[in-house]
Amino acid sequence: MENFFKEKTDEYKNLLAEYLEQQDEKALYGVELVSKALIKHNILPEEIINIHIKALKELDPNLFGAFEHSLEFLLEAMISYGLAHQEIQTLREQQIALKSEISVAAQMQKTLLKTKKPDVPGLDIGVISVPANQMNGDYYSFLQNADGTIGIAMADVIGKGVPAALCMSMIKYTLDSLPKESLPPPAVLHNLNRVVERNIESNMFITMMYAEYNPETSKLVYSFAGHEPGYFYRAAEDQFTEFSTSGLVLGVSEEVEFEQAEIEIDEGDMVVLLTDGVTECRDGDRFIEIDEVLDVIRQFTHLSAQEMVQEVYRYFERLQDFQLQDDFSLLILRKTV
């Protein structure tokens, strides 16, 4: 370190001498390299000014007094910059540590919330869920009931990041603890609402939808709790229609009643479920309209459901310059036979 410092000090002096004589760019490039080397060794700005003063004194012992004092003055002014620099350095290191900690947590969350796409003949399912930051505040889950029906849950914690993600685990474990026999969707939401209401702070809410599909009757029964509406694509009419039921978000009151409705799905029909991270994508200052989402989906209907959701995600990822504003989840279910 001592040698390094001495070496750089001499180099600085020689470059300065060269520059005083010729004002050439080569010396300026040289000092750029010296200063980068000094930064790497945590040499603070005031030290560099001190190197400068010493070099100048050696090069010109008759240096004008006021000029020398002015450099001492500059050195004094740099002390606080040096401190700020050190502080930022420390904060940067802390930030790196924090980021890696969160990424471990995010990985753990992925494992905890993992769900398996059910394998139902004649049903093509595609799903994607991408967090805006590292931790996801959106959640989807598939349940395979004993009677052959499948449950589909989608939820979105108002807010994002770590608190939202922590909250999501609760939804997952409540769903897991439901009986194996299928329950009507409003009853599922009622159960979840009770748990959420009792366990989270009053300023936190969860929007959710729960649906149950019966492969034998091709009927989808659903119930919504303040969640973004779903869209039903009827192939025969080549049209999307919105579907939802009224019902308050989870966590507000234990008294809420949830409603139920159903649709019958024919071959080629699609059910689209999403979170507000999809509908609230922004293109510059403009929020996109749901019609734009549906148009994009329509462009990819020739693909499998999984490829469709991925292409739609890629489209909106690009539209937002690869910086999601909110967690993005999209699920498409299509009857193929």
> Which residues contribute to the site for other proteins (CB under 8 A)?
46-47, 50, 53, 72, 75-76, 79-80, 83-84, 86-87, 90-91, 94
CA distance 145 to 142: 10
Minimum distance of other proteins from residue 63's CB (angstroms): 15
**Contact (Cβ atoms closer than 8 angstroms) between residue 327 and residue 156:** yes
Residue closer to other proteins (CB basis): 91 or 303: 91
Q: What is the DSSP letter of 228?
A: P
CA distance 315 to 322: 10
Residue closer to other proteins (CB basis): 47 or 259: 47
Residue closer to other proteins (CB basis): 83 or 97: 83
Minimum distance of other proteins from residue 70's CB (angstroms): 14
Consecutive H or E run containing 130: strand 123-130
Minimum distance of other proteins from residue 56's CB (angstroms): 13
Q: What is the DSSP letter of 289?
A: P
**Contact (Cβ atoms closer than 8 angstroms) between residue 192 and residue 174:** yes
Residue closer to other proteins (CB basis): 58 or 257: 58
Indicate if the alpha-carbon torsion angle 10, 14, 20, 26 is positive or negative: negative
Residue closer to other proteins (CB basis): 71 or 294: 71
Nearest C-alpha neighbor of 211 from the set 166, 271, 254: 271
Nearest C-alpha neighbor of 189 from the set 204, 211, 220, 167: 211
Minimum distance of other proteins from residue 2's CB (angstroms): 10
Nearest C-alpha neighbor of 225 from the set 202, 243, 207: 207
Minimum distance of other proteins from residue 164's CB (angstroms): 25
Minimum distance of other proteins from residue 42's CB (angstroms): 11
From residue 289, give the alpha-carbon distance in Å to each of 36, 187, 294. Answer: 49, 32, 9
Residue closer to other proteins (CB basis): 33 or 77: 77
